[in-house]
Structure 1
Amino acid sequence: MSIIQTIRDKAAVFVFGIIGLSLIAFVVQDAFVGGGSHLFSGSSTTVGKVNGTKIERENFDERTRAMEAQYQSQGYRVDESMRQEIQNQIWNGLISKELVTAEAQKLGIDFTSKEFTELLFSDDAPQEFKQQFTDPQTGIYNIEAARNAFKTLQKSKDAVQLRQVHDQLIDPIVLSQIQKKLMSIYTNGTYIPKWLIEKQNAVTGQVADISFVGLSYSTVADSAVKVTDADISDYIQKHKNNFKQERSRSIAYVLFNAAPNKEDSLNLWNKMEELKKPFAEAADPGVFVTRQGTKSAFFDGYMNKSRIQIPVKDSLFGLAPGALYGPYYDGNSIVIARMIGSKVLPDSVKARHILIATIDPQTGQPTLADSVAKKRIDSIQQAIAGGASFEVMVTQYSDDQGSKPVFGSLGYFPNGQMVKAFNDFCFEGKTGDKGVVKTEYGYHYIEVQDQKNFEQAYKIAYLSKPIEASVETDRAASAAATQFASQSRTAKAFDETVQKEKLNKRLAESVKEMDYQVIGVGTSRAFIKWIYSNKPGTVSDPVSVGDQYVVALITGEKEAGLQSAASARVIVEPLLRDKKKAALLVAKFGTYTTIDEAAKNAGQQVQEADSIRFADNFKPGFGNELIVIGAALNKNYQAKVSPPLAGNAGAYVVQVKNIGALPNDAANVEEQRKAASMQMKQTMGYSVMQALRDAATIKDDRLKAGY
Structure 2
Amino acid sequence: MPKKVFYAEADKLGIKFTAKELSSILSANSQDNPLMQDKSMIDPATGMLDQSKLKEALSNIKKAKGDQLDMIEAQIIEPQKLTSISQKYFALLNGAAYYPSWMQEKDSKENKKFATISYVTVPYNVISDSTIKVTDAEVEKYVANHKDLFKQEAGRKISYVVFSQLPNGADSTKAKELVEVLKNDFQADNNPRNFIARNSSAIPYDSNYQAKDRLQTTKLDSILKVPQGTVYGPYVDGGAYVLAKIISSKVYPDSAKARHILIGTIDPQSGQPLMSDSAAKKLADSINIAISGGASFDAMVKQYSTDQGSKEKGGIYDNFAFGQMVSEFNEFCFTKPAGTRGVVKTQFGYHIIEAMGQKGSSPKYKIAFLAKEIIASEATINNASLEATKASAEKDGAKLDAYLKTKGINKIPLPTLIKENDFSVGQLQDARQLVRWVFEAKKGQVSEPFSIGDQFVVATVDNIYTEGTQDVATARQMAENDIKNEKKATEISKKLGSNPTLESAAAAYQKQVETAGADSSITFGSQLIPGVGYEPKLIGASFNPTYQTKVTAPIVGKSGVYVMKVNSISDKTAETPEAAEAARKERITALRNQSAGNWFEGLKKQATIKDNRSKVY
The 5 A counterparts of 1:295-694 are 295-296=202-203, 327-337=234-244, 351-353=263-265, 446-448=349-351, 461-471=368-378, 473-486=380-393, 488-509=394-415, 510-519=417-426, 523-592=430-499, 594-596=501-503, 607-611=513-517, 613-614=521-522, 625=535, 627-628=537-538, 631-632=541-542, 635-659=545-569, 668-694=579-605
* Whole-angstrom CA distance in 1 between matches of 2:51 and 2:375: 57
Residues 170/297 of structure 1: CA separation in 2 closer, same or farther (3 Å cut): farther
In structure 1, list runs of 5 or more residues that go unmatched: 1-94, 356-360, 363-373, 388-406, 414-422
Whether contact under 8 Å (2:120, 2:505) holds in the other structure is: yes
Partner of 1:703: 614
Whether contact under 8 Å (2:201, 2:371) holds in the other structure is: yes
Cα deviation digits, residues 291-335 of structure 1 (max 9, x gap): 433334556778899987666778889999877665444343334
3-state SS in 2 of match to 1:703: helix
Q: Residue 232 of structure 1: CA displacement?
A: 4.0
Q: Which amino acid aligns with 2:552?
A: S
Whether contact under 8 Å (2:210, 2:365) holds in the other structure is: yes
* Whole-angstrom CA distance in 2 between matches of 1:460 and 1:233: 71
Q: Which amino acid aligns with 2:55?
A: K
CA-atom RMSD in angstroms: 5.3
Cα deviation digits, residues 142-165 of structure 1 (max 9, x gap): 77x554552365566898887655
Partner of 1:190: 97
* Whole-angstrom CA distance in 2 between matches of 1:452 and 1:659: 76
Q: Residue 690 of structure 1: CA displacement?
A: 1.6
Residues 120/548 of structure 1: CA separation in 2 closer, same or farther (3 Å cut): closer
Cα deviation digits, residues 320-360 of structure 1 (max 9, x gap): 987766544434333445566887898998543389xxxxx
Q: Residue 167 of structure 1: CA displacement?
A: 2.9
* Whole-angstrom CA distance in 1 between matches of 2:355 and 2:581: 47
3-state SS in 1 of match to 2:499: coil
* Whole-angstrom CA distance in 1 between matches of 2:52 and 2:471: 65
3-state SS in 2 of match to 1:259: coil
Partner of 1:111: 17
Q: Percent identity?
A: 30
Residues 531/108 of structure 1: CA separation in 2 closer, same or farther (3 Å cut): same
Residues 576/379 of structure 1: CA separation in 2 closer, same or farther (3 Å cut): closer
Q: Which amino acid aligns with 1:698?
A: I
3-state SS in 2 of match to 1:576: helix
- Higher mean alpha-carbon deviation, 490-499 vs 215-224, is at 215-224
1:150 aligns with 2:54: yes
Q: 1:247 aligns with which of 149, 154, 157?
A: 154
Whether contact under 8 Å (2:152, 2:470) holds in the other structure is: yes
TM-score (normalizing by structure 2):
0.70
Whether contact under 8 Å (2:124, 2:489) holds in the other structure is: yes
Whether contact under 8 Å (1:593, 1:640) holds in the other structure is: no
Q: Which amino acid aligns with 1:657?
A: N
Whether contact under 8 Å (2:139, 2:475) holds in the other structure is: yes
Residues 686/134 of structure 1: CA separation in 2 closer, same or farther (3 Å cut): farther
The 5 A counterparts of 1:273-292 are 273-292=180-199
* Whole-angstrom CA distance in 2 between matches of 1:380 and 1:195: 70
Q: Which amino acid aligns with 2:447?
A: S
Residues 100/321 of structure 1: CA separation in 2 closer, same or farther (3 Å cut): farther
- Higher mean alpha-carbon deviation, 662-671 vs 161-170, is at 662-671
Residues 352/618 of structure 1: CA separation in 2 closer, same or farther (3 Å cut): same
In structure 2, list runs of 5 or more residues that go unmatched: 288-303, 311-325, 334-339
Whether contact under 8 Å (2:264, 2:306) holds in the other structure is: yes
- Higher mean alpha-carbon deviation, 692-701 vs 103-112, is at 692-701
Whether contact under 8 Å (2:344, 2:351) holds in the other structure is: no
* Whole-angstrom CA distance in 2 between matches of 1:329 and 1:273: 12
* Whole-angstrom CA distance in 1 between matches of 2:44 and 2:399: 72
Q: Residue 655 of structure 1: CA displacement?
A: 1.0
* Whole-angstrom CA distance in 2 between matches of 1:481 and 1:505: 12
* Whole-angstrom CA distance in 2 between matches of 1:452 and 1:637: 82
TM-score (normalizing by structure 1):
0.62
Whether contact under 8 Å (1:354, 1:408) holds in the other structure is: no
Q: Residue 186 of structure 1: CA displacement?
A: 0.8
3-state SS in 2 of match to 1:519: coil
Residues 569/195 of structure 1: CA separation in 2 closer, same or farther (3 Å cut): same
* Whole-angstrom CA distance in 2 between matches of 1:267 and 1:209: 77
Q: Residue 654 of structure 1: CA displacement?
A: 0.7
Residues 625/675 of structure 1: CA separation in 2 closer, same or farther (3 Å cut): closer
Residues 472/107 of structure 1: CA separation in 2 closer, same or farther (3 Å cut): same
Whether contact under 8 Å (2:499, 2:552) holds in the other structure is: no
Cα deviation digits, residues 355-398 of structure 1 (max 9, x gap): 9xxxxx99xxxxxxxxxxx9x976897799999xxxxxxxxxxx
Residues 473/233 of structure 1: CA separation in 2 closer, same or farther (3 Å cut): same
Whether contact under 8 Å (2:161, 2:411) holds in the other structure is: yes
* Whole-angstrom CA distance in 2 between matches of 1:492 and 1:380: 71
* Whole-angstrom CA distance in 1 between matches of 2:213 and 2:259: 8
3-state SS in 1 of match to 2:96: coil
Q: Which amino acid aligns with 2:612?
A: D
The 5 A counterparts of 1:164-313 are 166-192=73-99, 209-220=116-127, 227=134, 229=136, 231-233=138-140, 235-236=142-143, 239-262=146-169, 264-296=171-203
* Whole-angstrom CA distance in 1 between matches of 2:488 and 2:51: 74
Q: Residue 458 of structure 1: CA displacement?
A: 7.9
Cα deviation digits, residues 164-197 of structure 1 (max 9, x gap): 5543333222211110001111111113467867
Residues 597/411 of structure 1: CA separation in 2 closer, same or farther (3 Å cut): closer
Aligned length: 556
Residues 354/476 of structure 1: CA separation in 2 closer, same or farther (3 Å cut): closer
Q: Residue 111 of structure 1: CA displacement?
A: 1.9
3-state SS in 2 of match to 1:586: helix
* Whole-angstrom CA distance in 2 between matches of 1:459 and 1:687: 59
